[in-house]
Structure 1
């Protein structure tokens, strides 16, 4: 369930009057942090967020693998706007034998 669908339907009352059910409870609760952390609404919201994240990553992966133009764009971004080359060279240098470094 998306976080925006967790808001109460009626007028706000009680310690959560100023926010949705997944928001930390307001003062007046004996142990607000513990009660908030044990909330089934919070657990459900986090579970759904993880599932949605996985679905979004899968969709992006499928787009990149299924469309050469998307893959080309991804490669251009990695080459032109990140330090990927330098980081991979550093990683290879740290694990490469000495004779491989001499070839460079």
Structure 2
């Protein structure tokens, strides 16, 4: 499964209808740490595509979604495990640390 880009709340709602762990990543084109974190997300997707669904939201194209998730800075990620929203992950996080946060 590939990393999904969403731009509307409706798209996001549809993608959240899954039994997988969901990681929503908020980013922007101009954000250096966001570009670095994209590599971590790609690695996570390659290793755990059957277990984790990764959704990316560009905060400039979808400010309403960013506001709903109280995104104050980027990169900002949110985990949804067993349909429960977890604490935010702020900033760049290395692959191994992200794996531990997810619990896989």
**Relative contact order, higher structure (CA 8 A, sep 6+):** 2
The structure with more helix, counted as a fraction of residues = 1
* TM-score normalised by L of structure 1: 0.19
